[in-house]
Structure 1
């Protein structure tokens, strides 16, 4: 029997289940660059280049292994622009006895794949994606019957189950979580290391030229493209992080600095999400660094928590709650996304820095996303779907299963506490403590109200006042609500009015 084996753009792993049992004499691998995947949101130019170049490099790896590859390029004149129509054209070309594909990472693509059998009249085998620590079924079993889902509980189960950072039945070092040691601002004297970047090779350059021509109106630039697009480069990127980033990653993972987009962060999420690296190998590399004395436990545990904890957890949340999860809006937020999320033109230096770095690198680290761009969207009451689509569009590592729960659950609390025990709302004081952004800003972070006051300050209190019915019973917000209870209704109204005037002025 011959099979058409389909590899999607985020399945670039030689061990992907769709390739298991491949008969190189009979089977053909189909890979498709299609317009619909590049335009369902207006992806950052670097993200498009990254995915298409990585796909082309992976196809060449398969060919060198003696595997027949039917590769449809985006600029092929016969390309119909859709996964389904390209799949049916390939079926007509090769006349296979069946189709094999690994389960897609995104709900909308799964819906497409589920229609293929009826459309072609062929058996379509959809295999489990075995690259994760927890399958969809494993997470569903963990979540079954729980009143609240908390990443920390899931993370501990995963540590025990997969024996990661464990000493017998106990966590390494005696504690599960060293987050309390990982919240230091970056000293002015501390210089982050130069990070390994990857100059575009011939294949990538060809993709860049095509993207500039076909997606000239998309967000971001290509001048600073430096992401790994092959398995070999991804392995080098992992080694670079372990050597120069990981030892101080823990201490400064929440820190921010103007002109320092990468600091000590791993920069591995794009390679992980495409399949160029596996979560197991990166966690194992980090654990080896601790056991050899090359990195401290707080750094290694903090990194492992991001991969084995958050990454696996949000995937489980996504697949257990879709498709209704996409429309959640617990706080009834309705404002439009401010234009400066695309242009970077704002007097608020923290937001200007975050958006400018995003345009330049298709990257900003998790605290910039959560506590700057996400925090502002939360406080401003931006419609969750608008900010969620923005995150999906602008970051090189953004695939929906990981991005959507992080946005709806963490950044803007649209799921009402499904993922997080409280909204991650903060005034300008947090940004001032964890960054140097407030220095030289047009606004004064020390001022609470008035024309020169940092907008985060009055936006924060106005948010809590507006959302009193939703949030005042949350025990983690008891302190700020006690403060508000001591204010007159006139003072509360003035703060809300100031916030509304500022936000209306953005429009």
Structure 2
């Protein structure tokens, strides 16, 4: 009898640890204090993972599998994977432990020590749910001076024959991102996201989360995430039918009171195993061929999965553990309280923090160009920013969160993942959202108490990092603009930035 350990983000019958499972084997699943509290995860995130785990265990039992499930409030719960494996081995007499490699380096390091800690062999298998193995990514990266997603993405398109014609990419171009930056129009009819009704299992989990994690960030209710494969497939179908056709046009747009926009909201389902990435890609491609969605929307959606998702995972495993220590700009400022409370006069930040608190979700432009852009410009400590992003979003696991934050958002890796910092002034937010209309600050004002803080913080960021960024070929135009500023203008930028950052650190409402 083999003991097969299934983690909370491995809820798939096709996971490698179950590929040869027998009805005589023991499948172990456990809700652990160690995993729920190593960062103080959003209440909705914990409820989602625990409920999805319990439903997966229920479905395994319905298929005749032998499942040992250890609930969080079980009085004998050891709180750790090793403790629960040791207990299961003692109780059931299994002769081997089989598991799939975890998605986080800290767990892989721990699991690699198990052969010495346990009395039985340990088989640690590759996670074959991804479309590019870590070995294949390392081979692709070997010898390259720069690792850029666009070129990796093209090879993945060829490998899987996605949106390809005989002569090359469908439509003649690999990337239609330039068509996916439309401003939000007034009166857009944005369909609601998929909403599942909590069943008895989910309600029990919600009660547990409310009792056990009262001081964790976020709103637990209303809860409407899919927690079964059937529900996750319904969420995918709803996106394809109702939102995909406009996803491309408005994927960068932000509208006050519209947290979901035309995005898919399925990242959390892919990342925990309820959805397979290739099936999501193929359904979107089929929608294009059926005439249900335009090429710019379908290509943009596929690029996020086949390109970006696979690329950041490749970067993570290629560069860890040193990648976590990167701090290219030597940013040291603590994360301000407004990231937890949303109590700020900056309406864009208030909207994005509030929606994150409510939903354990924000779309990629909110994460990158509002919340992340501010963290970059303000010089916030990468460790604190990474912890925040890891705990607040339901789709966040370190393999996907860390490269996106340290590489894409903060440029803390110095250009391993991105070719330049994604820094922007208030004019970008004003262009891509309606947030600025009800803000205390003015995006068209560059200095002074009414100026949008993103405006002067942007130039201050460039000035204080001149020595590290001026040689970047993609930053030349902006440094030329900075050089043309007179001393009075530069001093105003410096003074406004110091005033704002001092007030923020003093926990004043900024």
The TM-score range, normalised by the shorter chain, is: over 0.9
Structure 1 position 5 matched with structure 2 position 33: no
How far apart are 1:199 and its partner, in Å?
1.8
Out of 52, 55, 59, which is 1:54 matched to?
52
Within 5 Å, which residues of 2 pair with 1:201-240?
201-240=199-238
SS of 2:254's equivalent in the other structure is coil
Q: 1:269 aligns with which of 256, 267, 270?
A: 267
Per-residue deviation at 1:121?
2.3
Q: How many angstroms does 1:496 deviate by? A: 1.8
1:466 aligned partner: 464
Q: After the TM superposition, which of the residue ranges 126-135 and 165-174 deviates more from structure 2?
A: 165-174
Residue 477, structure 1, aligned to residue 469, structure 2: no
Aligned to 1:19: 18
CA distance, structure 2, for counterparts of residue 290 and residue 487 of structure 1: 49
Alpha-carbon distance in structure 2 between the residues aligned to 1:6 and 1:172: 42
Instruction: Classify the secondary structure of the residue corresponding to 1:438.
Output: helix
Give the counterpart of 1:368 among 361, 366, 369. Answer: 366
Judge conservation of contact 1:57–1:230 (CA < 8 Å) in 2.
yes
For residue 484 of structure 1, report the CA deviation from its aligned partner. 1.0
Tell me the residue number matched to 1:181.
179
Which ranges of 4 or more aligned residues in structure 1 deviate by more than 4 Å? none
Task: Give the match's secondary structure for 2:202.
Answer: helix
In the alignment, which of 149, 155, 158 is matched to residue 157 of structure 1?
Answer: 155
Give the stretch that moved more between structures: 405-414 or 497-506. Answer: 497-506
Deviation at 1:337, TM superposition (A): 0.5
Tell me if structure 2 keeps the 8 A contact 1:160–1:169.
no
Q: What's the offset of the Cα at 1:169?
A: 4.4
Structure 1: distance between partners of 2:165 and 2:357:
43
Gaps of 5+ in 1: none
Query: How far off its partner does 1:495 sit?
Result: 1.1
1:358-507 to 2 correspondences below 5 Å:
358-507=356-505
User: Structure 2: how far apart are the matches of 1:488 and 1:195?
Assistant: 49
Answer yes or no: is the 8 Å Cα contact 2:193–2:265 preserved in 1: no
Task: Quote the Cα distance in structure 1 between the aligned partners of 2:431 and 2:492.
Answer: 27
**1:351-385 deviation per Cα after TM superposition (whole angstroms, max 9, x unaligned):** 00000000000000000000000000000000111
Secondary structure at the aligned position of 2:174 is classed as coil
Give the Cα–Cα distance (whole angstroms) in 2 for the partners of residues 318 and 196 of structure 1: 31
1:15-74 CA distance string (max 9 Å, x none): 11101111212x100001100100011100000000000000000111011100011000
Aligned partner of 1:111 in structure 2 is 109
What does the per-residue CA deviation read over 1:318-362, in whole Å, with 9 as the maximum and x for residues that have no partner? 001011101100011110001000011000000000000000000
Q: In structure 2, what is the Cα distance between the partners aligned to 1:332 and 1:500?
A: 17
CA distance in 2, matches of 1:174, 1:31: 47
Instruction: Provide the C-alpha distance between the structure 1 equivalents of 2:412 and 2:198, rounded to a whole number of angstroms.
Output: 39
Aligned partners of 1:427 and 1:457 also within 8 Å: yes
Structure-2 separation of matches of 1:488 and 1:293? 55
| Aligned counterpart in structure 2 of residue 78 of structure 1, from 76, 92, 100 | 76
Contact 1:426 1:456 in 2 (8 A): yes
Give the whole-Å Cα distance in 2 for the aligned partners of 1:269 and 1:194: 17
Q: How many residues align?
A: 505
- SS of the equivalent of 1:505 reads helix
Q: CA RMSD in A?
A: 0.8
Q: 2:142 maps to which residue? A: 144
Q: CA deviation at 1:225?
A: 1.5
Quick one: distance in 1 between partners of 2:252 and 2:395? Answer: 19
Task: Identify unmatched segments of 5+ residues in structure 2.
Answer: 506-510
Q: Does the 8 A contact of 2:101 with 2:127 survive in 1?
A: yes
Residue 311 (structure 2) aligns with = 313
Please show how residues 314-329 of structure 1 align to structure 2 within 5 Å.
Answer: 314-329=312-327
**Alpha-carbon shift at residue 490 of structure 1 (Å):** 4.7
Residue 345 of structure 1 aligns with which residue?
343
**Structure 1 position 194, deviation (Å):** 2.2
- Aligned pair partner of 1:90 in 88, 100, 117: 88
Contact 2:192 2:260 in 1 (8 A): no
Give the Cα separation in 2 of the matches to 1:104 and 1:157. Answer: 26
Number of the residue aligned with 2:66: 68
Rounded to whole Å, the distance in 2 between the matches of 1:245 and 1:191 is: 10
Q: TM-score, normalised by structure 2?
A: 0.98
